[in-house]
Amino acid sequence: MINRARLKELHAKEAARFLARTPKSRERFAAAKEVMPGGVPMSWMTKWPGAYPLFVASAKGAHFVDVDGNEYIDLCLGDTGSMTGHSPAATVNAIEAQLSRGMTAMLPTDDAVLVSSELAKRFGLPLWQFTVSATDANRHAIRYSRLITGKSKVIVIDRCYHGSVDETFATLDSSGKTVSREGNIGAPVALSETTRVVEFNDLAGMENSLKAGRVAIVRERAGIAALNVKKYQEAQKELRAAQRISGSPSVIPYLAQCELALGNPRKTLEIAGSVDPKILSAAERVELRLAASGARTALGQHDAAVVTLTCPELAQGDALWSKKLRQAYCDALIAAGRDDEAARFVAKYPQTLTDQ
C-alpha cells in the first residue's frame, strides 16, 4: 500500500531541491511572463512539473544543460524532433551548408526530390508531400480522407495528443457523449458534429463507433479495394454493407461497376439511374458515368456510351478520375467508329492520354 504521507514529504523535498538548483531559470521565467502568455513560447510548456519550466542553455546528444549549468538526460528529445539526438554532426553540417545557399524560397529544390525518393524507397509509398508540423500532417490526412470517402466524422482515442487539430479536442463526458475538452477555446463547431471518441484499448467501443452512421469508411474502402483487384462478389458484399450502415449514395457508382463486371449491364443501368448525380462528388459522378457507359457498350449501344461520357468533367483538372474519364471517352469514340473525333480529342489532351 502506498504511504501517501511519505510520498507528499518526498515530493516537497524534491520541489525544494528544484528551486535551490535553478535560480536563473526562475529569473528567466519571471522576465518571460512579461512578453509571453504563461512565460513560455508554447502554452503546453506550462504543464511541466515544478514551479516553472527549466530554461535550456544548450543540448547535445541525449543531454541538455540548463541556464544554471545543471546537466540532464533528455528523455523527450524534442518530442521526436531530435530523435537521433541533439545536433548530430551530420545534421549540423548539412544545415550549415544549406544556410549559406538560402533557407526557404517557397519553391522546390533538388533536395526535395532526393528526400521524397528516399522516403518512397524506405516506406513503399510512391508520393510524398511535406508539412511544417504534426498538426498540419493530421489536418491533411483528415481532409484527404473526407475528400475520398465523402464522410465528415473522425474517430479519436480519448486523451491522446494530435496537435492542435480542432476535431481532436474532444473527450467523453460521464454519460459517454462526445464533448469539448476542458480549456478548448474558439471551437468552430460542437465537437459532437465532427468527432467520435473511443477510450484507449476499448475494442467494443471502436467497433460500435465504426458501425455508426457516417463512419462506414472501413466497409466502403474494403469494397473498393476488392473491386480494384477484381474480387467483384466480395466487393459487392462490402459495398452493400457500407450502404446499409451509412445510407450514403457514395457507394452506388461502385455497386454499378460490380454489376457490370459480373455481366449484368441492364442492372448496372438500373443502379446508375437510381441516384441524382448532383449529390455525388465529382469523382463519384465520373465513376457512375464510367459504369453506365460500359453497360451501354456491353449492350452494343456505342453512341449512347459516348453520350454518357460527354460531361463537364472531361475538361476539369488532372485528377486520376479525370484521366480515367478521358481515356474511356476516347475508347468509346473509337468503339463507335468515330476515329476522327478520337484523334482530335487525343490532340486536345495529349499528355493525359499518353500517361495512361
Q: At what angle do helices 217-228 and 134-149 cross, to 10 degrees?
A: 70
The pLDDT of residue 248 is above 80:
no
The predicted model scores a pTM of 0.54
Share the mean pLDDT of the chain.
88
pLDDT in tens, 4-15: 999 999 999 999
How much is the pLDDT for 75? 92
Q: In the chain, what are the domain boundaries?
A: 19-103, 134-211, 248-354
| CATH, range 248-354 | 1.25.40.10
**How far is residue 165 from each of residues 8, 141, 168, measured CA to CA in Å?**
37, 11, 6
- Rounded to an integer, the average pLDDT of 111-115 is 93
How much is the pLDDT for 219? 67
pLDDT in tens, 17-73: 999 999 999 999 999 999 999 999 988 898 888 999 999 999 999 999 999 999 999
How much is the pLDDT for 356? 45
SS3 of residue 180 by DSSP: strand
Are 191 and 170 contacting, i.e. CB atoms less than 8 angstroms apart?
yes
How much is the pLDDT for 215? 47
CATH 1.10.1050.10 fits 19-103, yes or no: no
Q: 160 CB contacts (<8 Å, ≥6 apart)?
A: 168, 200
